[in-house]
Amino acid sequence: MKQALRPEEAAERVPDGAVLLIGGFMGVGSPHRMIDALVARGIRGVTIVANDTARPGLGIGKLITAGAVARVVTSHIGLNPETQAKMLAGEIEVDLVPQGTLVERIRAAGVGLGGVLTATGIGTEVEAGKRTIEIDGRRYLLEMPIRGDFALIAAHRADYVGNLEYSLTAHNFNPVMALAAETVIAEAETIVPVGVIPPDAVKTPGVLVDQLLARAA
């Protein structure tokens, strides 16, 4: 049985300056109660690894607005003008990574690979300062794994031992991120008895999940 924490209890376990892997795509599939609790706690100096920074007032965008974020590793910030403004003002460091490369770098950390070889970014600014390797006459970038201190995961259902089932686009980054962090905190829409989730529907086994958020009141 996993310990069920209130969001504010879980937020207290996340220190300032932590590297946070946060699932979701423009807020869909993001752990909203956990994000709200981190904002309320007043966390500072975190690095966010995510597909995007959502929009002001939505998902990760709330952490941006709250001044909680020192660095973002992401595939785009185009829909969040606050992230753009803070980057231009030097308040946030932004590392833009092609989307496919980003998810593969996270996956590499999760499965124990030493890096990812990709042709994406060759001949562009993405290549600057990175090692390249030539294979059969073609050049590839060596992209390094990305690992987090915490993965903040949103799931459709969890059971009492932490097995997770996802719905629709929440499959995008959440299952991969659950492999690549020291501590995994999962926020599910519902928590059900063991056996309710069909085995084939479990995408993140409970052995990977350290804490569950208690169901919303």
Q: Tell me the pTM.
A: 0.94
pLDDT tens for each residue of 164-208: 999 988 888 999 999 999 999 999 999 999 999 999 999 999 999
pLDDT tens for each residue of 113-144: 999 999 999 999 888 889 999 999 999 999 99
pLDDT tens for each residue of 17-65: 999 999 999 888 999 999 999 999 999 999 999 999 999 999 999 999 9
Q: What is the pLDDT of residue 68?
A: 97
Nearest CA among 150, 186, 153, 184 for reference residue 170: 153
Q: What is the pLDDT of residue 210?
A: 95
Distance, first Cα to last Cα, the chain: 20
Q: Where are the domains of the chain?
A: 4-98+146-213
Q: Tell me how long the chain is.
A: 217
Q: What is the pLDDT of residue 217?
A: 62
Nearest CA among 21, 14, 19 for reference residue 39: 14
The DSSP secondary-structure symbol of 99 reads H
Q: What pairing do the DSSP bridges indicate for beta strands 132-135 and 138-143?
A: antiparallel
Q: What is the pLDDT of residue 125?
A: 86
Task: For residues 180 and 182, give the distance between their C-alpha atoms in angstroms, rounded to a whole number.
Answer: 7
**Calculated CA dihedral for residues 27, 77, 110, 166, nearest 10 degrees:** 20
Residue 14 has pLDDT above 90, yes or no: yes
Q: Which sign, positive or negative, has the C-alpha torsion 70, 94, 208, 24?
A: positive
Burial annotation 170-209 (CB, 10 A radius, 16+ → b, else e)? bebbbbbbbbbbebbbbbbeebeeeeebeeeebbbebebb
Burial class (CB within 10 angstroms; exposed 0-12, middle 13-18, buried 19+) of 87: middle
The pLDDT mean for the chain works out to 94
Residue 91: how many other CB atoms lie within 10 Å: 14
CATH architecture label of 4-98+146-213: 3-Layer(aba) Sandwich (3.40)
